[in-house]
Structure 1
Amino acid sequence: MKKKGLTYKDAGVDIEAGERLVDLIKPYAKKTFDKNVLAGIGGFGAGYLLPKGYKEPVLVSGTDGVGTKLKVAQMANVHDTVGIDLVAMCVNDILTVGAKPLFFLDYFATGKLSVETAADVIRGIAKGCEIAGCSLIGGETAEMPDFYPEGEYDLAGFVVGIVDRGSYITGQDIEEGDVILGLSSSGIHSNGYSLVRKLFFEVLNLKVDDVVEELGGKKVYEVLLEPTRIYVKSILSLIDQVRVKGMAHITGGGIPGNLVRVLPEGVKAVIEKGSWEILPIFKFIQEKGNVPEEEMFRTFNMGVGYAVIVSPEDEVRAKEILERAGEKVYTIGRIERGERGVEIR
């Protein structure tokens, strides 16, 4: 009797499942398409026509992941919000130079493909793209047996945006007296989760479904999986009306580690503690984990997810524009003469 031949599925890779996933996610992606998408999900490459109206267009690219926040999503079996996080981490980065996101691609890697889980993740990615106003035009799903533990996956995202060369924001015009505006974050966003997981699940021995009264009576996973805020539409509206000198996406490294990246030599950013609302989650982490204040500011956004630097004469108008766009905005500091850096007082 002839022995049955070994198949790819026997080795742990289900081609049919991958094909089902592609069919399942096409409608999500198609909802994000604009008139410039020439070819989308399912082909070997995706085409995108450069928009008209730019004198000297500059393409701006970015890539990022979600980090160990994915562990919380996998523990809770809640997978759609990390897709929004993935988009946010990429588009908020390229936004800092004034770039409008055009299109997005994702990379989903796992040991054994769960079509339902992957579809939830990609549905979240599509939602993030809708919020950011960009098109989800492609991606890659990699099923790699023995590479990832069962039930785990990893994500990476890639975005391309556009800005006119004359409108490219470099931070080089920032000067003494300029004002620093802070836009409120939605929570932890997507950084510091190795510390967060250690505190919640090891030190405090909480479960993802436990209710935490100090955090508004929400369940642990609801607080920890709050998606990263996407600032694209608010900021693009702002830079259309006000001269913005510099911007920073407050991610790993906190306000000090990110704001310094846009400062020219000869000036420093002075941040005034108490000038904005520190969200309850950060107070909870600091108190329960006995985390030093310096470590908190170096690890978390502390309630400020994005920073904008404008001239003092533009402060009031900039805040009005951002507030009309739905942002909570605070004047969190000023630019002073001194050695390049960030000082928190």
Structure 2
Amino acid sequence: MSEENVSAGVNYALMKNFKKAMAAMGETTLEFSRRWDVETEPDGLYHYVGPQKTHRFKSVIEGLGNKDWLAGWMEEYAGDGKPYREDIPVDSMMMAVNDGLAKGGRPFGYQDEITAPNSDFFGDEKRNAQLVRGYFKCCRDNGIALTQGETAPYVYLLHTTLPTFDENGKKIITSAPFDAASYSGAVQVVIAPASRYVNGSRLRPGHVILGTSSSEWCSNGASVYIKRVSTLPDKFLTKLPNGKTFGEQTLIPTKSMVPLVAALQDAEVDITAMGPITGDGVAKAIAITKLDVSLRIRQWPFAMPLSCLFVMDKFNISMQEMLHTFNCGLQYVICILRSDVTKAQDAAARVGFDLYEIGVVEEGQRCTIMEPFDNLVLPEPGD
């Protein structure tokens, strides 16, 4: 062990057990990729062994954002010993997996990265066990082999802070009494046959927009939650109408879209565009294509997630802001031909998913028109 490293705040001995546990767990996941006709070797080599004559591999990388801060806060202050971090790996993996599905792929491989403000973060055996269980659970449930990982203490780059502001609204750097980490990773998907590749280029006016509901808010918009709810007397221990604390509600894990997309593909539904509702909220729906079209949403059968409803009412946040920040109950959008609607809904029902017809693609200038919300027009994010 390097005494210089330790004195600088990096103690690799504290990280050793976590690295070993993740490596051992990863070895047990190698067989999971066979669900999608991919064999995974221990050193991360992949072989497609399925019946299709053509296939393609694609990699997608994504990060989780600030959700682990909420888990860290609950771990520090809830005082109930619940495993608040166990589903953080699920959320992190789903950010990449649900994106990879949008290209018509099925996930078979994953490499994780956890960056923490110090090596002490990886010395907590109870927390480590939660993370290992979370990664394993997500791999098992979705047919993914975890082949590699990176564990990094960024002592001089990361610092967990509290949301404190001066009278002018300027953030004051105040250290938090707990540590939170940044989670990210890359997923590999197989597109087999290669003709299943989806990039939105075949989307046309008249195609039907389908949507499926989310488990809760998912992960995007965590910074808004942290800033707003931290001002309340009980902060994230504030009780919601369902009896859960706000913190518990926000840590409901993101729903995997793997069963839904696989069912649609197996039913030979012609998918012309699809994607998750993540950063920039519902306004991001237009990102499923690069074409100059508009998405007209004609009905909204989705219940507003309880955490979203709470902050919207408590802090008087406009619907326009909500739709630009959160999924507001919509997890995934899928565009198909009208002739395939019944077939798609039947396939979704067989795997336990709702799949509603919510709108139609129109000619237009890259925006989303929300008829159920007073015809609000959501410009393409960044405009």
Same fold (TM over 0.5): yes
SS in 1 for 2:237: coil
SS in 2 for 1:80: coil
Q: Match of 2:166?
A: none
SS in 2 for 1:71: helix
Distance 1:282 1:153 in 2: 24
Q: Give how far 1:135 is off.
A: 0.9
Q: How many residues align structurally?
A: 332
SS in 1 for 2:235: coil
Q: Give how far 1:25 is off.
A: 2.8
Distance 2:19 2:365 in 1: 52
Q: Match of 1:198?
A: 227
- Report if the CA contact (8 A) 2:246-2:307 is conserved: no
Counting aligned pairs with the same residue, the percent is 27
SS in 2 for 1:194: helix
CA, structure 1 residues 177+146, in 2 after alignment: closer, same or farther (shift >3 Å)? closer
- Report if the CA contact (8 A) 2:207-2:335 is conserved: yes
Q: Give how far 1:122 is off.
A: 3.4
Runs of at least 5 residues in structure 1 that lack an aligned partner in the other structure: 40-44
Q: Give how far 1:93 is off.
A: 0.2
Distance 1:155 1:302 in 2: 24
- Report if the CA contact (8 A) 1:25-1:123 is conserved: no
Distance 1:11 1:153 in 2: 19
- Report if the CA contact (8 A) 1:319-1:329 is conserved: yes
Matches within 5 A, 1:1-345: 6=3, 8-34=5-31, 36-39=39-42, 46-77=44-75, 78-110=84-116, 111-112=118-119, 113-116=122-125, 117-149=127-159, 151-163=179-191, 164-202=193-231, 204-212=232-240, 214=241, 216-241=242-267, 242-257=269-284, 259-263=285-289, 265-345=291-371
Query: Normalising to structure 1: TM-score of the pair?
Result: 0.89
Q: Give how far 1:131 is off.
A: 2.3
Q: Give how far 1:344 is off.
A: 1.2
Q: Give how far 1:341 is off.
A: 2.7
SS in 2 for 1:230: coil
SS in 2 for 1:49: strand
Runs of at least 5 residues in structure 2 that lack an aligned partner in the other structure: 76-83, 160-177, 372-383
Distance 2:145 2:336 in 1: 30
Q: Give how far 1:18 is off.
A: 2.5
- Report if the CA contact (8 A) 2:214-2:255 is conserved: yes
Distance 2:93 2:3 in 1: 39
Q: Give how far 1:53 is off.
A: 3.1
CA, structure 1 residues 293+20, in 2 after alignment: closer, same or farther (shift >3 Å)? same
**CA-atom RMSD in angstroms:** 2.1
- Report if the CA contact (8 A) 1:100-1:162 is conserved: yes
Query: Normalising to structure 2: TM-score of the pair?
Result: 0.80
- 1:104 maps to a residue whose letter is Y
- 2:94 maps to a residue whose letter is A
Residue-by-residue CA offset, 1:18-51 (whole Å, 9 max, x unaligned): 2222332344323322252211xxxxx5333334
